[in-house]
Structure 1
Amino acid sequence: YSNGSETEGKERDGASDNETKSDSGVPEVPVSADDTPEVLNKALSGLSSRWKNWWVRGILTLAMISFFFIIIYLGPMVLMMIVLCVQIKCFHEIITIGYSVYHSYHLPWFRTLSWYFLLCVNYFFYGETVTDYFFTLVQREEPLRILSKYHRFISFALYLTGFCMFVLSLVKKHYRLQFYMFGWTHVTLLIVVTQSHLIIHNLFEGMIWFIVPISCVICNDIMAYMFGFFFGRTPLIKLSPKKTWEGFIGGFFATVVFGILLSYVMSGYRFFVCPVEFNNDSNSFTVDCEPSELFQLQDYGLPPVLKSITGWTTVKLYPFQIHSIALSAFASIMGPFGGFFASGFKRAFKIKDFANTIPGHGGIMDRFDCQYLMATFVNVYIASFIRGPNPSKVIQQLLALRLDQQLHIFNSLKAHLTEKGLRLWIEGGERVQRKQIQACMEVGDEMRNIRRETTEN
C-alpha cells in the first residue's frame, strides 16, 4: 500500500511525540539494526532509501515465492511440516517481544513453561487431527488406540501439570509480572496455534484450499504495495500511515482477477483438488480421486449487460472459481485488518517489526499476520458452504463402540431401511398399477376410434 514518501516512513519507524507520552509506561524495545545482506547493500548503494527498500523487498519476495513453489511440489506432508515450523517461529517471535517488553528474562521457569504450554496445545490439536485422519492406523496399533481413546484426558492432565508448575513458580514482588507473561503466553497460543491447526484442516480438504487462499493474500500484499508505491496519495488508516486507498482498491481488483485465473488452472489437476487421505495399504498419503462437481467445468449464463459487451451467451467455469471470488474478496478487504492489528500491536510496544528474520520484510509473523485470519475464514467457509455430512467419520465412531452397541445400531438401521423400502415398494407398485390402467384406457379409446371409423367407411 506504500506511497513511498520518506516522511511517512519516519512516522512508521517511530511513534509520534503524543503517542510516546501516552504510552510512556510501556518499556521500549530497541529497534533492530539494518539486516540487509552486505551483497545487496553494495549492489544498491547508489539508490535512494526508497528505491533500495523497493529492490530489497522485491528480491526477497521472489525468493520466498520460489521457495513456496518448491514446497508445493514436494507435497502435502512437507507443507504440514512447514506450517508447524512457521507456527513455532511465530510463537518464538511474539514471546521474545514479551520478554523484552516486560524485562522478564529472569523469571523462574517462565521460558520453560511457555514452551511447555506450546507443546501441550500442539499435542491436543494434532492428536485430534491424527485421530480424525489416521483412524484405521490408530485402531491397528494398541498404544495409539489407548492414546486416542484417552486423548483429551491426557491433554488436560498435561496442561494441569503446567498450570501447577506456574503456581509453584510464583515469586514475591513479581506476581504481577508473572501473570502478565502467563496471559501473554496464552493469547499467543490462541492466535498462533489455533490458526495453524485450521490451516492443516484446510489442507486435508485438498491442497487447492490451502494454496489459493495463501496465494490471494500474497498477491494482495504485493499488488497493494505496487499500486500504493506508484499511485498512492490518499492515506487509508492512521495505524499504518504508508497504506493508501489507491493501494487498497488496486490490490482488491488485482487479487480477484488473480484468484479466478489461479483457480481455473489448479482445478484441472487432481493433485490439487483431491482431499489428502491416508492409504492403509501403502501407509502413505494419497491425493488421487475422482474430482467432485466443484472441480468440473459447467456452463453458466451471462447477465444481459455482459452478453451485450462480449457477445457470449454462456461461459464455461469451474464452480470453485465462483467460490474463489469470495476467498479473494476476503483476502483483499478483511485480510489486511490482520496486518492493521499487527501494526497496532507493534506501535503499542514501539517496535518496527516482530523480528529481523527476512531482510526488508521483518519477521515470519510480519508475513503471516494476514494469513492466520484468512485460514480461519477458509475453515468456516468450507464448513458452512462446502462440506456435507461425512460418512467416514460416522463409521469411525461406530467402530469405536462395543460389539453389542454396534449390533443394536445395525438392527435399528436395518429396521428403518426395511420399513422405508417396503413403503417405497408399495408406493411404487401403486404408481405402476395406475400407469397400467391409464395405458389400458388409452388403448381402449384408440380401438373404439378405429371401430367407429371402420363403420363409417
Structure 2
Amino acid sequence: MWIRTYSTVWMIGGFALIVYMGHLYITAMVVVIQIFMARELFNLLRKAHEDRHLPGFRLLNLHFFFTAMLFVYGRLLNQPLVNSVTPDKYLYQFASSLIKHQMAICYFLYIAGFMWFILTLKKNMYKYQFRQYAWTHMILIVVFTQSSFTVANIFEGIFWFLLPASLIVINDIFAYIVGFFFGRTPLIKLSPKKTWEGFIGASVTTMISAFVLANILGRFQWLTCPRKDLSTGWLQCDPGPLFKPEYYTLPGWIRQLLPWQEISILPVQWHALCLGLFASIVAPFGGFFASGFKRAFKIKDFGDSIPGHGGITDRMDWQMVMAVFAYIYHQSFIVCQGISIEMILDQILTKLTFEEQQNLLVKLGHILQERLGHP
C-alpha cells in the first residue's frame, strides 16, 4: 500500500505540473502514454523465437504506428496548425497543402505497409505473422481511437480533460482505500479484490468531488478556454454561460445554521454530476475488462513501469473509457449551450475576410427581413 501511495503522489504531482504548463504539454503527455500503452500491448503476443526469423517485423509495426498517429493527429490538429502559421504566407500554403492531402498520404502509407507485410510472409510463419498483423490493428484501433478523444477534449478546454481524468483518479483511490479498510463483499469474480463497499464508497465520494471540483476548475479561464492554435501560454476568453455563476438564496433554516445567505453554482456543475455518475458506475467496467483480458493471457499486469500499479495500461484502462464519454457528452449536450454571441463574433472577425463579412451581413439582413415579414 505504501509503495502504491508513493507512486500515486509522484504521478499526481507530475500530472499537475504538466497541466499547469498548458495544452501542448498535456497533448505530448498523452502521446507518450499512448506509446507506452502500445508497447506493452505489442509485447503481449510477441515471441522472441519467431521474431528472430522475421527481421524487420518490428519495424513494420512501427510503420503502422506512425501512419495511425499521422492520420489521427493530422485530422485533430489541422485547424490549430493553420491558425498557428497564418501570419507566414509560405508556411500557410505548405500547411494547407499538407492538410488537404493528409488523408491520401496516410492511405498510401498504409498501403505501403500492407504490401510490405505481404512481401515478408514466410513459410511456416504465416499463422504467427497474421496473428501479429491482426493484433497490431486491434491495438491501433483501441489506443489511437480512444486517445484521439482525449486530445480533442484538451483542445476544447483543459477543463474537459482535467475534470474527467481527476474523477477517475478519485474513484480509483477511494475504491482502493474504502475497500482496503472496510471491504467485505466481493463485487465481481474478474477482480476478487474489488468489493461492494469500495464501489459504493468511491461512487459517493466521486459524485461529491465532481460537483465541488467543477466549481473550482470552472473559475479559471485558462482551464475553460478552447485552444485554437498550437501556441503555448495561458488563455483568456469569454467563459460562456456554463461557467458564469448563478446565485441561489438559501432557505431560512439553513441560513440559521450556516453563515452564508446565498451560494453560487456554475451551471457546468450539473453536467459534472453526469460525468461523476459515469466515472462511478460505468468507467470501472474498463478496469474489469482489463482484468479479464489479463486473466485470458495469464499475466498479473500489463507491465511494470509504475511501482505498485503495474504498467501504464493498467492505469489507463478506466481513463480511455471516460475520455470517450466526456467527448461524446460535450459534443451532445455542451457545445450548443457553451456558444455565446461574443464567441460567434470572434470567429467571424478572425476567420472571415472583409468581403465574406459583408456577404454575411447582407444574408443576415435578408433572413431577418423575411422573418419580420418585410419586403
Q: TM-score scaled by structure 2?
A: 0.87
> Partners in 2 of 1:218 and 1:74 — Cα distance?
20
- Identity over aligned pairs, percent: 39
Partner in structure 2 of residue 21 of structure 1: none
Structure 1 residue 195 corresponds to structure 2 residue 143: no
Correspondent of 2:129 among 178, 182, 188: 178
1:341 to 282, 289, 295: 289
Indicate whether 1:157 and 2:101 are aligned: no
**Is residue 2:177 matched to residue 1:230?**
no
One of 290, 294, 298 as aligned partner of 1:350: 298
| Secondary structure of 1:316's aligned partner | strand
Look up the equivalent residue of 2:25 and give its one-letter code: V
TM superposition shift of 1:200: 0.8
Matched, 1:215 2:169: no
Question: What letter matches 2:108 in structure 1?
Answer: A
Q: Is it true that 1:379 corresponds to 2:327 in the alignment?
A: yes
CA contact (8 A) 1:232 1:244 kept: yes
Residue 223 of structure 1, CA deviation: 0.1
SS at match of 1:236: strand
Are the equivalent residues in 2 in contact too, given 1:204–1:275 (CA < 8 A)? yes
Residue 108 (structure 1) shift? 4.1
Distance in 1 between residues matched to 2:63 and 2:71, nearest whole Å: 13
Q: How does 1:317-336 map to 2 (within 5 A)?
A: 317-336=265-284
User: Aligned pair 1:298/2:232, yes or no?
Assistant: no
Letter in 2 for 1:383: Q
Instruction: Say whether the 8 Å CA contact 2:24–2:232 is kept in structure 1.
Output: no
The one-letter code sitting in structure 2 at the alignment partner of 1:297 is P
Contact 1:221-1:251 within 8 A present in 2 as well: yes
User: Does the alignment pair 1:255 with 2:203?
Assistant: no
Equivalent residue in structure 1 for 2:62, among 112, 115, 118: 115
Structure with greater Cα Rg? 1
SS in 2 for 1:299: strand
- Alignment-mate amino acid for residue 287 of structure 2: G
Instruction: Give the conservation status (yes or no) of the 8 Å contact 1:302–1:315.
Output: yes
Task: List gaps (5 residues or longer) in structure 1.
Answer: 1-53, 400-405, 430-457
Contact 2:82–2:95 (CA<8 Å) still a contact in 1? no
Deviations 1:81-121 (A, max 9, x none): 11110100110000011204995554343211111111001
For 1:191 and 1:248, how far apart are their aligned partners in 2? 26
Does 1:148 pair with 2:95? no
1:50 corresponding residue in structure 2: none
TM-score by length of 1: 0.72
Q: Which amino acid aligns with 2:237?
A: C
Q: Does the CA-based 8 Å contact 1:267-1:318 persist in structure 2? A: yes
Q: Which residue identity is paired with 2:300?
A: K
Task: Tell me whether 1:363 sits opposite 2:305 in the alignment.
Answer: no
Contact in 2 for aligned 1:57/1:360 (Cα 8 Å): yes
Partner residue of 2:32 out of 85, 102, 112: 85
Cα gap change, 1:76/1:60 in structure 2, threshold over 3 Å: closer, same or farther?
same
CA change 1:410–1:98 in 2 (3 A) is farther
Q: Which of 50, 73, 82 matches 1:126?
A: 73
Alignment deviations for residues 21-40 of structure 1 (CA, whole Å, 9 cap, x no partner): xxxxxxxxxxxxxxxxxxxx
* Per-residue deviation, 1:314: 6.5
Separation in structure 2 between the aligned mates of residue 305 and residue 213 of structure 1, nearest angstrom = 35
> Equivalent residue of 2:187, what SS?
strand
**C-alpha contact (below 8 Å) 1:353/1:366 kept by paired residues:** yes
Residue 40 of structure 1 corresponds to none
Shift of 1:129: 2.1
Post-superposition CA distance 1:292-321 (Å, at most 9, x none): 111111135889999999999964211111
Deviation at 1:289, TM superposition (A): 0.9
Work out the CA distance in 2 between the residues paired with 1:300 and 1:265. Answer: 17
Deviates more, 1:308-317 or 1:290-299: 308-317
Q: Secondary structure at the match of 1:353?
A: coil
Q: Is the 8 A contact 1:131 1:138 kept in 2?
A: no
Q: Is the 8 A contact 2:22 2:233 kept in 1?
A: no
Residue of structure 1 equivalent to 2:17: 70
Are the aligned partners of 1:94 and 1:188 in contact in 2 as well (CA < 8 Å)?
yes
Rounded to whole Å, the distance in 1 between the matches of 2:64 and 2:347 is 29
User: CA deviation digits over 1:278-297, x for unaligned, max 9?
Assistant: 28xxx545521121111111
Q: Is the 8 A contact 2:83 2:228 kept in 1?
A: no
Q: Which amino acid aligns with 2:165?
A: I
Q: In structure 1, how many angstroms separate the alpha carbons of the residues matched to 2:292 and 2:321?
A: 16
- From the superposition, tell whether residues 105 and 336 of structure 1 become closer, same or farther in structure 2 (CA, over 3 Å): farther
User: How many corresponding residue pairs?
Assistant: 364
Tell me the SS of whatever aligns to 2:309: coil
1:136/1:270 CA distance change after superposition, 3 Å? closer
